[in-house]
Amino acid sequence: MAAAAVEEIRASSYVGFDTITRQIEHKLLKRGFQFNVIVVGQTGLGKSTLINTIFASHLIDSKGRLEHDEPIRQTTEIQAVSHVIVENGVKLRLNIVDTPGYGDQINNEGCWDPIVKYIKDQHSSYLRKELTAQRDRYIQDTRIHCCLFFINPTGHSLRPIDVIVMKKLSEVVNVVPVIAKADSLTLEERLKFKERIRAELVYHNIKLYPFDNTDDYDEEEAQLNERIRDIIPFAVVGSERNVIIDGKAVRGRKNRWGVINVEDESHCEFVYLRNFLTRTHLQDLIETTALIHYEAFRSKQLLLLKNQAAGNPSPPPAQ
């Protein structure tokens, strides 16, 4: 057959579905992405500071704390603050949910309840919207995709209350533990502390993100997750100020041992955490929330509704 004829057939049999990736990309770019993070931990562990350090330059036009000399607001209730970040034409809607320091009281019984309730409420409102007959094509997503859990840098072990709260949270959300204010520990102390924490997590059977459900990950992703598991808990330092190192202004802190460059990987694991959250695991955190945490909530609720409809009211779900 003449080459021209072959071309003709090719041209006419070309359906064009290979443009689907471009179609999807176009649609996603137009809509933008929604990422919701909650921060949990004692008051004063540097939660607000770290969030502002991660997204620093991007929060300028938003309602976050911008100037480091602005008085530090102590959070007394669960508050969500929204930011819109645009990078190379990609729009990320970021919701940061700040929680009042938990475990600050003498009696900490049930101090995790409001946080767990907040997370479940978001699932519940998503489900309600999903079940509405004329549901929107696109449902505003307020489900929490990641919970940054701040650990006190004692260098010893987790507090019993941390163990309880991490366990409760890990049942409803992707929990990512961080050792706060890591500059107060030496490198050796940090390593020992990390190992200790990992051992405690295993001992208490607390399963944290990334989960090892090998079916869902290809080899490359599985290896990346393995590396992440070796780093977690991220030992981080946050700062809203610049310090001068070698004549250059960098995000950092001065302490009695010297100057810490927050972005220097030999000083702390801030960069690892930022890459993990924004570059390597953003999409997977969102997906895991939908496929694992939300799905578990959804099927439980639907079963409940079904039983109610069949006239066998079951007891309300345990909180």
Ligand X SMILES: Nc1nc2c(ncn2[C@@H]2O[C@H](COP(=O)(O)OP(=O)(O)O)[C@@H](O)[C@H]2O)c(=O)[nH]1
Q: Which residue has the tokens 């079963």?
A: 303
Segment contacting ligand X by CB under 6 A, of 136-144, 177-185, 211-219, 298-306: 177-185
**Smallest distance from Mg ion to CB 304, Å:** 36
Nearer to ligand X, 184 or 280 (CB): 184
**Is 267 a residue that touches ligand X (CB under 6 A)?**
no
**Is 237 a residue that touches ligand X (CB under 6 A)?**
yes
Q: Give CA–CA dist 280/272, Å, rounded.
A: 10
Instruction: Residue 181: name its binding partner from Mg ion, ligand X, none (Cβ under 5 to 8 Å by kind).
Output: ligand X
- Considering only 19, 23, 43, 79, the residue that binds ligand X (CB under 6 A) is 43
**Is 48 a residue that touches ligand X (CB under 6 A)?**
yes
Q: Name which of 131, 140, 167 is nearest 298 in CA terms.
A: 131
Distances (CA, A) of 254 to 37, 52, 86, 187, 245: 28, 18, 32, 16, 11
54 CB-near residues (< 8 Å, 6+ apart) = 270, 273, 274, 277, 278
Segment contacting ligand X by CB under 6 A, of 46-54, 85-93, 170-178, 271-279: 46-54
- Considering only 120, 253, 267, 281, the residue that binds ligand X (CB under 6 A) is 253
Nearer to ligand X, 125 or 184 (CB): 184
Token readout for 189 is 């102390």
- Considering only 33, 44, 124, 217, the residue that binds ligand X (CB under 6 A) is 44
Q: Give CA–CA dist 272/55, Å, rounded.
A: 14
Q: Give CA–CA dist 302/313, Å, rounded.
A: 13
Judging by beta carbons within 10 Å of its beta carbon (0-12, 13-18, 19+), is residue 165 exposed, middle or buried? Answer: buried
Instruction: Residue 49: name its binding partner from Mg ion, ligand X, none (Cβ under 5 to 8 Å by kind).
Output: ligand X
Size of the site for ligand X (CB under 6 A): 14
**Is 49 a residue that touches ligand X (CB under 6 A)?**
yes
Nearer to ligand X, 46 or 210 (CB): 46
Instruction: Residue 43: name its binding partner from Mg ion, ligand X, none (Cβ under 5 to 8 Å by kind).
Output: ligand X
Nearer to ligand X, 145 or 267 (CB): 267
Instruction: Residue 237: name its binding partner from ligand X, Mg ion, none (Cβ under 5 to 8 Å by kind).
Output: ligand X
**Is 190 a residue that touches ligand X (CB under 6 A)?**
no
Segment contacting ligand X by CB under 6 A, of 20-28, 47-55, 140-148, 215-223: 47-55
**Smallest distance from ligand X to CB 182, Å:** 7
Question: Other C-beta atoms within 10 Å of 285: how many?
Answer: 22
- Considering only 72, 86, 302, 303, the residue that binds ligand X (CB under 6 A) is 72
Nearer to ligand X, 120 or 253 (CB): 253
For residue 255, the cross-strand partners are 258
**Smallest distance from ligand X to CB 35, Å:** 20
127 CB-near residues (< 8 Å, 6+ apart) = 297, 298, 301
- What is the contact surface with ligand X in residues (CB under 6 A)? 43-49, 72, 181, 183-184, 237-238, 253
